[in-house]
Structures are given as structure tokens and as C-alpha cells.
Structure 1
Amino acid sequence: MEKEDVVSWTAMIAACVQHGESLDALELYWRMEQEGIKPDKIVFVSLIDACSCLGDLRQGMRVHERLHAGGFDIDNSIASGLVNMYRKCGSLTGARSVFNKMDRNDLLSWNALIAGYAEQGDSHEALQVFRWMACEGVKPDGVTFNSIFGAFSSARFLCEGKAVHARSAACGIDVQTVGISLVKMYGQCGSLDDAKAVFDKLASKDVVAWSALIGAHTQHGHGLQALQLYQGMKEEGVKANDITFITLLDACASTGQLSAGLEIHAEIVAAGLESVGFVATALVNMYGKCGQLSTARDIFDRIHPRDVVSCTAMISAYVLHACHREALELYFRLEPEGMKSDRVTFLSVLEACSSLTALEQGRAVHASIVSRGLDSDTGLKNSLINLYGKCGSLKDAESLFDCMRCRDLVTWNSMITTYSHHGRDEISLEVFMQMKLDGIQPNDVTFVSMLFVCSHAGLFEDGCKCFGSITADYSMELTVDHYNCVIDLLGRAGNLDEAEILVANLPEPCSVDWMTLLGACRIHGDADRALRTAQRVAELDPDSLAGKVLLSNIYATARDWDDKGEIFT
């Protein structure tokens, strides 16, 4: 063209947007401005769509500024487009600002705002806007309901979800229109029966619907049912996609179904999806959790490019199966290559450092946590306290604990255990009392630690009070570990009769309980009781040599070898 005018520029920009070339559309607009062509209002409709498709907030704000600078009247269609653009760019503040200035909010703007809050996980605000919309007399459509169903992501929203489901039916919305969103909603809320009931009503069940139902079962620990549903899906002739395979591999990982995982892997290869990033990562996770570490590593080594999710899956697999050195070697090899570790990565790596008491490596990981800006995370700080405690660096553990503004139950338990392992029993008791003063309710792990402290510090009365308070004050069920600790407490205090009676009257005494009593017999030189106890250990665990060795030491100390031979036969 010899000379382009505003109409030709607008047509070209609109054509680019229509065919997904949003970046080219924006570049054309900036060229148009440089060439002195004054845009009209129509071009901004295309530009707003372009920014929405790109999710580019900076460009979107520039276009919005140009719209204002041009003195154009922002009618409802453009305002609705702006609300949607800000929502897709992740700026709900911007979306709400435009929305609030509209003379009359249309259905498109309401839907955009509800979808924005749902996408950002703000279920409460999404529901509030939905109710506000009803008060304004705006009738919702299928898009509205699909968005609001996506906002209900936990069991606490099940009642609201059911109420909105009933509202959609009352508005004449066909189940086929919102069925998949309903299956996902009921699945996220943990109501699998409702999810299946909606699924069964769908006249047409495509791979997305099947994947939603399979995912719902996998998410709530029903991996075997998820695999059974997949068989039904295949019988219906529906082919799985990458999302289906990822969900199925998660089901195999959670249930340890290696044979099913191998079959699914073969289907993935046949579908040509093995090299797809998220599918490959799911394979690493499945093989890792099923104990096939060499296969997991082989797949991991073939992933290019690797992301933090795939790296974390491999490291976590090593840690899960106590291959802590391999986990650290992989982490310290990948970190210099630019792996941006996240919270989950660091938790696994810190567990490996704690298990190996690798203090220097732990300090290096701590430095990386700080550099990533994650040092305020309570879970990571708890893991660091545990690491420093196990590595003997009590000062570092104390420093972290003292600086924490938000301490949860795990924080207090970690600090109690750390002091206990360092022989600071009195301080452990002080921390326990401070924890209760701060309104933190102890759990079974807390009481195991406290009973251990009382036993090893010789605080018999405190230990008995602590044991009694488990059921009396906190209405908690006593565990095997609680009983084992109190048996040790009684034994160390010399109350062997009470300890033996307690073990004998346990609902299901195990060899560990009797071994604890046998250890007390050694402390107090009670050879006769030791023989009875060792016999019970041998009955419960015939292959164990520990009880026999301990009994031998008791008799050797007492110089009384008569009648002991029968325990070794």
C-alpha cells in the first residue's frame, strides 16, 4: 500500500490477533503510533485481546494508558475486555478497579471477575462476587457456573458447592455444559460419590471427563479405584492423553502398583508421550516411589530440559529409600547448573543432610534457602532446627528457634527433641511448659519426647504425670511408643514389678516392649526376671539375637550361668 490509514492498520492488527499473532499485533500498534497514525477506539478492542492472550500486564497497562490519553469513552464492551485482560494478567486489583468504575456491569465482566478470584484460589471472594451478581439481578450462564465451581477446592466448600449446583439446575444449565467442572469440584471437595453421580449423567464422556474422575480418586488416596476406572475408560474406547497418564502414574506411585505402572509406561511409549516433560517427571516419581531407582534415574537422565519438578522427584525418590548420599550428590551437581530449588526440594535435601549428619552440606543448603528468599518458611526452619540438632550444632538450632515469629507444633517438638539429644533435659521441660503457655496443644510425638526426657533424667514423678495427662488432659489414645517410654521410665526407676505387669497387660505386647524391660533388668542386675523376659522376646521374635546377647551379658555380670542355657537352644 502506498499509504496506510487507520482503517488498514486496524484491520491488520485485528487479523494478527484473530490468528494468534498477539505479539505482532502489539508491535504493529507501536509502529502505527511512531508513524503518526492516530488510532480509533476499535483498534483498542484488538489490543486488549492481544494483551489478554499474552498475559502481559506491562503491555496491558500501557494500552490502557493510551486509551485514557486518547480521550476515548470507555463503554461496557471495552471495560469488560479490560476486566478480563487484567484478570488474565494476574492483576485482580486492576480488574476490580475497572469493574467498580463501570456504569453497568455486564455478564462478561462478572464472569471475568469470578474466574479471576477462582484462578487465584480466593474461594471466599469468588463466592461473594457470585452472590453480589445474583443480588444485582444478573442471570449467570454456563461460563459463570464453570468458574464458580472451580473456586470450591476443599471439603469446607462442599455445602456451598452443592447449593450452587442446585442453582445451576434451576437456571436451566444442562449438566453436559458444567459436568466436567462439577466432577472436578466434587472431587476436590472429597465427595467421590457425587463426582461419580454427575459423571454417570454425562451423555458424552470424553477423555477430559474420564481424567477428571480418575484424578478425583487419585487425589484422595483411592489409587486402585482410579486404575479400575481407567480400565472402564479403555473399554469405552476413549484414548488417554498426557493428563490421564500423569494422573494414572500418580495412582501407581501412591499405591505401589509397579506392574500397573509398567503397563501404563508401555502405553505412554506407544502414544509417543514418553519425552513430554510432565509425563517423564511422573514416570520418575512412579518408579522412584516403587523402589526402582535405577529405572527412575535412567528416565531422569534423558529429560531435557530438566525443571525443578523433575529434579525434585529424583532427589525425593533417593531420600524416600534412604539413598541419602545419592540425593546430595545429585542436588550439588544440579544446583550449579541453574536448578532453582523450591520448598519441596529443600525439604528433601535437608532430610538427607540430617540423616547423614552432614553439617557442612547442610549449611550450604541453608545458604541457598536464604538466597532464594525462603528463609521465612516455617517448614524449612523446622527442618533446619532438626538438622542442626542432629549434627550437634545446638547454638545454630537455638538461634533459628529464637528468631522464629511463627512457631508451629513441629517447631516446638523439634526443639524439645534437640535439647533432649544434647542432654539438656531441664531445658526440654522448660520448652514444653512454654509451648503450653503459648497455646500449642502437644501431640503424640511431643509426649514421646517428654517421656524420654523424664526417663533419662530420672524424673520419675514428672514422667508419670506426663503419661497420665495424655488421656486425662488431652483425650489422646496411647501408642506403642508411649507404653515403651513408660516401661523404660519404670525400669530405670527400679520399679521392675510394675514395668513387668504393664508389659504383660498390654493389648498387643511386642518384642521391643519386652526388650525395654530386659534392658532395665540389666541395669538392676535382676537375672531371674531377665530370663523370663528373654523367653518372651524369643517367643515373639525367634530370629532376634539381641535379647539373647543382652541376657548373656546380664548373667556374665552376675556370674550366674545356671539354667541360662535353655534360652539359647
Structure 2
Amino acid sequence: MMQQGFVPNRVTFLAVVDACDSSASLFTGKKFHANVSCTEYESDAFVLTTFMSMYGKCNDLEMEEGSLPDKVTFRTILCSFTGLSDLSRGKFIHVYVSCCAFDTDVIVGTALFGMYGRCGSLESARELFNNMVKKDLVAWNAMITLYAQNELGGNAVLDLIQQMQIAGVSPDKVTLTSGLSACVSVSLESAQRLFEKVRDRNVLAWNAMLGACEQQGYRVHACHLFVQMLEEGITPDKVTYLILLSLYASIAASVEGYCVHTSIIYFQLDSDGPLVSALLNHRDTKEVLQIWGQMLQEAVIPDEITCIGILDACAAKGTLAVGKFAHARIIKSDYRSDISVATSLFNMYRNCSNLEEALFVFSSIVQHDAISWTAIISASAEQKQSEVVLQLFHQMQIEGVHADSGVYVNVLTACADEAALTEGKAWHSMGMAWKHSNSLI
């Protein structure tokens, strides 16, 4: 095969490994390995693993000098194993790692126990972790994350973080996010105990605790935590407020949301785009106008994220008046050519049943994709504008955009409404061809 100039792919490599499974076939396997070393697959993690497996099956662990990968390659290979089906190959790599004395390296050791954990052998992972002489922050976080992903790992996570601090390693954001999420899933009390044991609790620690409580539904406790955070003199950042706004929006707590808004203004974060968008998610039309007007009065120029947030809020609530006001401000800004802003404008007018303006905005979008074409044709069909549907579909065909089944349904309905029998037969043929081509994929 290779003599004729054909380079094997990964499937071929796997087939060779399966075939070379004894000492008798070792010579063939080595010859194939030598040929592959001259190709682009020489450093491929999958290929290296398959050849290592072959040498292991043939009981030839002493490979030629220079052919063994280094610790970076070992780490890359180990990190590629993510399921139970990879466990046997991972064990082969473990043998080679030990033979090369790389198992004492903290990076390779971390990748090794991580492989066992991801492949369903958490006990083996913990045993390897316990036997590591040197453990850095990355190693501790990796083990904590493995337990955090296990439904019954909350107590183990708490124990690990305690050992971590005894060892003099300070938790970081990853530690707290994984640890607190695991502990709070067991009980709020265990998460609280962990949180209280964290030294020098900064805003990252508070955000991790607030986020864990919000995700698990401990909303009242999250509110008390925020008050405690302020009492201890910790200045919230925008992540803090995004968590709180998501919390209050989920329980429709407008009074608490207003207090958070006041706090956002106090800490001068009221011009942040994502925060403004989050604020608008549980405000009524009057308050949206007030926030928008306040930004303009203070000479705060809304960015494209803020514009999109306002338009999306108007689309969700059907508030056309606010949407038109936002559109007027966008026209005076540099964001009217932004594809994301234009798409949000189009969706706002469409949801507010203003087809004429939706068509106008749609025509201003320089490049249309299948999603935008489907949306405008569907909107026209909903408004019973059959002639517009046919015109849009014709333009869609000119631009070479392929329609899906939903578009063809709307087009055929429009043809029936317009009594366009000949055109309807043509579109029906195209629709059948589309269905046939997709069934072959």
C-alpha cells in the first residue's frame, strides 16, 4: 500500500495493531512503524498509542532508542482518553510511563490519574494521586474536579480541599468552583463549612459560593450571602451581579433586582453591556426606557452588546415602542452595520408583528444565511403575505442559499394561496429533490 504511494489513515493503523498481536508478527509491525515514522503521522497521539499497544501485545516493551515519546507526548496521549473504552489503552500507556520513569513527573502523573478518573476508574485515580510525592495546584484541582463530577463525591471533595490547605496549597477559582458545586449538591451545610475554611476569601471565592447556591436553588441563602459579602467589605464585580440578576429574574423578584441595580450604579458598573442586558431581562417597558435614558443623559454610549440586550428584551416582551426608540439610537451610532445588531433588530420587529420594518432591516443585512432567510419567509407566511413569500424565496434561490423543509412548506402554501400552480409544481419538485438528497447523507 505504502509502496504504491498511499498513506494509511487512522483506521489502517488500528487494523495493523489488531493484526500484530504476537511475537511472530512483531517484525511486520516494526517495519510498518519505520515507514510511518517518515510520514506526517509520526507525532500523532492516536498513532503513537496504537503502536505502543502493539509493542505491549508483542511483549516488546524495550523499543529502539529515540523512538519513545517524551513526557509532553505522554501527557497529550493520556489527556485524549475520555471514556471506559479507552481504559485498556490507557493502562498500556501507564506501563510505558513507568518504564520510562516519567510517572514521578507531576505533569505526567496528573495526566495519568486524570485518565483513570475519566475512564471510570476513580479508585485507581485516587490511589495514584495519593502516591504522588509532589502535588502542585493543578494536580489538586484535577483530583477535586474528578470527584466533583461524581454525584457522590461531595464529602471526598471537602476532604481533599482540607488536605490541600494543610499541605500549604491555596485554593484558586477552579478549586472553589468545583469544590463548592460538589459540596452544595450534598448539603448546604457542607458547602458552608468549606467556604468558611477558605483563607483570605476574595471576590472570586464569594462568586463561587453565590454561583453554587444559585445553581442548586438556594436562593434565599444566596441573598443573605450577598449582604454578608458587603458587610465584610468585599467589593462585588460584574460576575457577582450577573449571578444575582439571574437569581432574581428566576424568581421574579423585582424589588431585590432594583436594589441590585442601585448597587450596580453605586459601584459604577452601570455602563457594562452584559449587566445592562441582564437588568433588562426582568424590567417592564417603563424601566427599560428609564435605564436607556439614564445612560444617554450621563453621556454613556451603549455598546453593541447593550443594544442587542435591549432589542432582545423588546422582542421577548413585544414592546415595539421601546424597540423603535432603540432603533433610532442605533441608526445614529456605528452599530447599524453590525450583523448581530441587525439580526436582533430584525427579530424584534418580527416578534412585534411589524413585517414592513422587519423586511427593511432584513434588506440592510449584507450577507444572509439559511437561518435568516427561513426566519423572514416564516414571518411573511405568518402574516399571510403569500406574494412576499414567493418573492423572498425567489431571491433566496438567486443567492444560492439552500432551503429546508420548513421553507418549502411555506412556499407551497403561498403558491396555493396565489393559485400559482405551475410555480408550485416546480417548487414541489425542488422540495422532493432536497428531501432525497438529505436522506442520502
Q: What TM-score results when the alignment is normalised by the length of structure 2?
A: 0.51
**Residue 176 in structure 1 maps to residue 97 in structure 2:** no
| 1:39-50 equivalence runs, <5 A | none
Deviation at 1:310, TM superposition (A): 5.9
What's the C-alpha RMSD, in Å, of the aligned pairs?
5.8
Q: Which residue of 2 aligns with 1:215?
A: 177
Taking the TM superposition and a 5 Å limit, the aligned residue runs for 1:481-560 are none
Match of 2:35 in 1: none
Q: What displacement does 1:386 show?
A: 1.9
Q: 1:262/1:361 Cα in 2 relative to 1: closer, same or farther (>3 Å)?
A: closer
- Looking at structure 1, the residues matched to 429 and 403 of structure 2 have their Cα atoms a distance apart, in angstroms, of 17
CA distance in 2, matches of 1:318, 1:390: 17
Equivalent positions of 1:18-417 (< 5 A) are: 159=80, 169-170=107-108, 174-179=134-139, 192=149, 203-205=163-165, 209=171, 211-216=173-178, 224=185, 230-231=191-192, 233-234=194-195, 236=197, 240-254=201-215, 256-273=217-234, 279-280=240-241, 282-303=243-264, 304-308=266-270, 312-313=274-275, 315-319=277-281, 321=282, 323-354=284-315, 359=320, 361-369=322-330, 373-391=334-352, 394-417=355-378
> Could you say if the C-alpha distance between residues 424 and 394 of structure 1 is closer, same or farther in structure 2, counting changes exceeding 3 Å?
same
Deviation per residue, 1:396-432 (Å, 9 max, x gap): 4334333434434542333123322432235436646
Question: CA 1:259 to 1:361, structure 2 compared with 1: closer, same or farther past 3 Å?
Answer: closer
- Contact kept, 8 Å, 1:207 with 1:238, in 2: the verdict is no
Would you say how many aligned residue pairs link Structure 1 and Structure 2?
Answer: 320
For the residue of structure 1 that corresponds to 2:286, the secondary structure is: helix
Aligned residue identity for 2:294: R
- Mapped to 2, the partners of 1:451 and 1:294 lie a distance apart of 46
Give me the whole-angstrom Cα distance separating, in 1, the residues matched to 2:320 and 2:239: 34
Aligned twin of 2:385: 424
> Does 1 or 2 have the higher relative contact order (CA < 8 Å, sep 6+)?
2
- Provide the secondary structure at the position in 1 that maps to 2:136: helix
Question: Would you say the 8 A contact 1:183–1:212 is kept in 2?
Answer: no
Determine if contact 1:343/1:374 at 8 Å carries over to the other structure.
yes
Residue 232 of structure 1 and its aligned partner are, at CA, apart by: 5.3
The alpha-carbon deviation at position 388 of structure 1 amounts to: 3.0
Per-residue deviation, residues 502-556 of structure 1 (Å, max 9, x unmatched): xxxxxxxxxxxxxxxxxxxxxxxxxxxxxxxxxxxxxxxxxxxxxxxxxxxxxxx
- 2 CA distance for matches of 1:307 and 1:406? 35
Aligned AA (1:333):
Q
Classify the secondary structure of the residue corresponding to 1:375. coil
Preserved CA contact (<8 Å) 2:173 2:208: yes
Per the TM alignment, residue 174 of structure 1 is displaced from its structure 2 partner at its CA by 4.0
CA deviation vs aligned residue, 1:205-233 (integer Å, no higher than 9, x gap): 489636414535899x9985796873452
CA contact (8 A) 2:245 2:260 kept: yes
Structure 1, residues 439-479: CA drift from partner, whole Å, max 9, x if none?
Answer: 6675xxx83x875776688579999999999998768xxxx
Is the alpha carbon distance of 1:454 and 1:251 closer, same or farther for their aligned partners in structure 2, counting shifts above 3 Å? farther
Q: Is the 8 A contact 2:314 2:323 kept in 1?
A: yes
Q: Aligned equivalents of 2:210 and 2:273: distance in 1?
A: 17
Per-residue CA deviations over 1:351-370 (Å, capped at 9, x if unaligned) read 33335655564344235445
For 1:262 and 1:333, locate their aligned partners in 2 and report how far apart those are by CA, in whole Å. Answer: 27
3-state SS in 1 of match to 2:361: helix
Q: Secondary structure at the match of 2:374?
A: helix
Calculate percent identity across the aligned residue pairs. Answer: 16
Give the counterpart letter for 1:209 in structure 2. P
Conserved 8 A contact 1:419-1:425: yes
Letter in 2 for 1:339: V
> What secondary structure sits across from 2:257 in the alignment?
helix
What is the rounded CA distance, in whole Å, between the counterparts of 1:465 and 1:323 in structure 2? 48
Which string of whole-angstrom CA distances, capped at 9 and with x for unpartnered residues, describes residues 8-57 of structure 1? xxxxxxxxxxxxxxxxxxxxxxxxxxxxxxxxxxxxxxxxxxxxxxxxxx
Amino acid paired to 2:377: I
CA separation in 1, counterparts of 2:139 and 2:232? 27
Does the residue aligned with 2:336 lie in a helix, a strand or coil? Answer: coil
Over 3 Å counting, the alpha-carbon distance change for 1:422 and 1:208 in structure 2 is farther
CA distance in 2, matches of 1:326, 1:223: 35
Q: Which of structures 1 and 2 has the bigger CA Rg?
A: 1
> Structure 1 residues 440, 466: CA separation in 2 closer, same or farther (over 3 Å shift)?
closer
8 A contact 2:319–2:352 mirrored in 1: yes
CA distance in structure 1 between the aligned counterparts of 2:287 and 2:332, rounded to whole angstroms: 24
Alpha-carbon distance in structure 1 between the residues aligned to 2:183 and 2:157: 18
Alignment partners' CA distance in 2, 1:451 and 1:224:
47
Unaligned runs of 5+ in 1: 1-138, 476-569
1:385 CA drift (Å): 1.0
CA pair 412-226 structure 1, distance change in 2 beyond 3 A: farther
| Structure 2 unmatched ranges of 5 or more | 1-69, 83-89, 94-101, 111-132
Task: Normalising by structure 1, report the TM-score.
Answer: 0.42
Relative to structure 1, is the Cα distance of residues 250 and 171 closer, same or farther in structure 2, using a 3 angstrom cutoff?
Answer: closer
Output the CA distance in 2 between the equivalents of 1:433 and 1:183: 58
Tell me how far 1:297 sits from its aligned partner: 0.6
